């Protein structure tokens, strides 16, 4: 469940919780430096629709995602899928890509990374901090925005809170001219189960 603060030009600053999303994943392929997974995200309308913090409806989003270990504490993630809002019957194709660099705390940790047995069932190791740069793009396939493309970037941090929980903080900024995208701060806790 993200917490966001946005500043739409015409409404003034808006902050609050966004929609709660649960996204169980099925690991399809696992190698030392590569993962392929299928997920079905279920988004519930828990966020306020003011300032577009929440959608106001249930949405389903099946997707495929990859994780690639680039070495030396660098990784890349991609995700591609289709989101469908149940009440409005609107759909969009989405794509996300990110580059992540984890800050190794010391030389021993850095040396251990090359021999590290990647346990993909957990999040970031507690106490580790990662820098993330992400791009999110969406193509509306139906509804009033049919054919519109939206793109936004996120620059932020991941911090491992426990074996199963990560904290994500970031600054979101529009990359397209869509009126629905705003600059702002976002924070969320990711729970790995």
pLDDT tier, 185 (very low <50, low <70, confident <90, very high otherwise): confident
Per-residue confidence band for 66, with pLDDT thresholds at 50, 70 and 90: very high
Condensed to tens digits (0 to 9), the pLDDT of residues 115-164 reads 444 455 456 788 899 999 999 999 999 988 888 999 999 999 999 999 88
More confident residue, 71 or 48: 71
pTM to 2 decimal places: 0.79
Q: How confident is the model at residue 85 (pLDDT cuts 50, 70, 90)?
A: very high
Q: Are 92 and 61 in contact (CB under 8 A)?
A: no
Least confident of 20-24, 43-47, 95-99: 43-47
| Nearest residue to 132 (alpha-carbon basis) of 184, 79, 169 | 169
As a whole number of angstroms, the distance between CA 169 and CA 157 comes to 5
Domain that holds residue 183: 3-191
What's the per-residue H, E or C state across the chain? CCEEEECCCCCCCEEEECCEEECCEEEEEEECCEEEEEEEEEEECCCCCHHHCCCCCCEEEEEEEEEEEEECCEEEEEEEEEEEECCCCCEEEEEEEEEEEEECCCHHHHHHHHHCCCCCCCCCCCCCEEEEEEEEEEEECCCCCCCCEEEEEEEEEEEECCCCEEEEEEEEEECCCCCCCCCEEEEEEEECC
State how many domains the chain has: 1
Q: What gap in Å lies between CA 192 and CA 190, rounded to an integer? A: 6
- In this structure, the number of other CB atoms found within 10 A of the CB of residue 168 comes to 18
């Amino acid at each position: 469940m993200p917490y966001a603060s946005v500043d739409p030009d015409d409404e003034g600053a808006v902050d609050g919780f966004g929609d709660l999303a649960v996204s169980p994943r099925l690991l399809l392929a696992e190698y030392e430096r590569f993962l392929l997974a299928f997920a079905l995200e279920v988004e519930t309308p828990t966020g306020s629709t003011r300032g577009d913090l929440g959608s106001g409806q249930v949405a389903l989003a099946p997707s495929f995602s990859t994780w690639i270990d680039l070495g030396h504490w660098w990784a890349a993630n991609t995700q591609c899928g289709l989101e469908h809002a149940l009440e409005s019957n609107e759909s969009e194709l989405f794509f996300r890509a990110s580059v992540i660099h984890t800050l190794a705390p010391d030389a021993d940790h850095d040396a251990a990374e090359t021999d590290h047995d990647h346990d993909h069932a957990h999040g970031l190791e507690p106490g580790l901090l990662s820098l993330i740069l992400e791009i999110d793009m969406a193509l509306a396939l139906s509804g009033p925005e049919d054919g519109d493309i939206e793109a936004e970037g996120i620059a932020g941090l991941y911090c491992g809170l426990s074996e199963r929980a990560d904290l994500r903080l970031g600054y979101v900024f529009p990359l397209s001219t869509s009126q629905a995208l705003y600059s702002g701060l976002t924070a969320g806790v990711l729970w790995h189960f």
